Chains A and B, each alone.
Chain A
């Protein structure tokens, strides 16, 4: 599963159950629907562990952060999936937003570089 545009790419690697996000996500509301759909498809597969790698995602807006937050919440409700988010401290929005996700999923694992 993959969505690639000039601005960003979202790729799901089934072998490693990892979602790689790259580029700039500053989309307008409904433009997030295909990405949200991809994320929901991954959650529906219910792999025992999902890695969400945000390290190459340079910019995001609140709609994009909300979409990621909703994905975390969907995964948390399933109770069968371990979720690891990989982020970087070099990009300001990542630490700030991802720390909030722990309130949606207290068992969320974080890995910073």
Chain B
């Protein structure tokens, strides 16, 4: 069964450039791998700059803003994927970056258990039926440090970086149920 929410689009083959990074969650404990999220996100943001050749990376330029946005969003997507991944299975987590003529797309794919999917979909439903800025303030006021799905990463992508988000859930194993989830963030360039 496939379920789609938000602005999720199938991958188009017409991208100018793409880059994919793969991670093996079972290779080491989460805490040891955690720093890799930021390093990978910063690498992706640096890689992007090669397609916008300029000497002008001063704050406020389109290039500097894009670099900051990709670094932040890729890190958030990876952190979520690592945090909620079903680590007992051997599937990889992938982060794919695609550059098109007028936008770029980041996609993170990971595997989750059914109980995580239910909580995640409840939050997506709330997100799609709320004003994101109001929801952001509500979540900050009610979140606890250890709360697992506060959705503040997703909310900041929308509010602060004008990202369009979409999700696809597909069941790949029936018993116990394992679901592959792809989170897609689109940014204008």
- Inter-subunit contact B75/A61 (CB<8 Å): yes
Q: Which residue of A lies closest to B80 (CB)?
A: A62
**Quick check: is A65 within 8 A (CB to CB) of the other chain?**
yes
Encode A35-79 as 1/0 by CB contact (under 8 A) with B. 010000000000000000000000101110111011001000000
CA of A97 to CA of B161, assembled, Å: 10
Tally the A-B contacts, defined by beta carbons under 8 Å.
86
Q: Which residues of A contact B153 (CB under 8 A)?
A: 61-63
CA of A35 to CA of B34, assembled, Å: 18
Q: Tell me the dominant secondary structure on chain B's binding face.
A: helix
Q: Which residues of B contact A62 (CB under 8 A)?
A: 76, 152-153, 155-156
CA of A30 to CA of B146, assembled, Å: 6
Q: Tell me the dominant secondary structure on chain A's binding face.
A: helix
- For the complex, count residues of B whose C-beta is within 8 A of A: 38
CA of A67 to CA of B75, assembled, Å: 17
Q: Which chain B residues have a beta carbon within 8 Å of chain A's beta carbons? A: 30-31, 34-35, 37-38, 42, 59-60, 64-65, 67-69, 71-72, 75-76, 79, 83, 133, 136-137, 139-141, 143, 145-146, 148, 150, 152-153, 155-156, 159-161
Could you show 7 A-B contacts with beta carbons less than 8 Å apart?
A: A28-B34, A59-B75, A70-B140, A73-B140, A92-B71, A93-B68, A93-B72
